Amino acid sequence: MALRASRVTVTTSATLLADAPGNPEDVTVRNADAAAAVSVGPSNVTTANGFEVPAGSAVSLTLNAGEALYGIGAASVVCHVLEVDVA
């Protein structure tokens, strides 16, 4: 089982949080900011069309092989990202 943990600064442009180039991955993203929300989704994510992760909250999901998850915010926000290969 491959396990990767990182801290990614999400900006006002879509920022890569995690990808699953070969095998599916379980991904958890925690918004470490105390006030600002982050939106997550595909590479064209915006704060209007993404899934909102409120300040201090987390979301978990599975990426299929070849998929990637991006984040965007109204300001720079640090996200803690945990990726676990499931294959």
Provide the 10 A C-beta neighbour count for residue 65.
Answer: 12
Mean pLDDT, to the nearest integer, of 1-30? 95
Query: Which residues, in sequence order, are CB contacts of 60 under 8 Å at separation 6+?
Result: 26, 27, 28, 29
For the chain, what are the domain ranges?
3-85
51-64: pLDDT as tens digits:
999 999 999 999 99
pLDDT score of 70: 98
Whether residue 1 is predicted with pLDDT greater than 90 in this model: the reply is no
Question: pTM of this prediction?
Answer: 0.95
| Domain 3-85, second-level architecture | Sandwich (2.60)
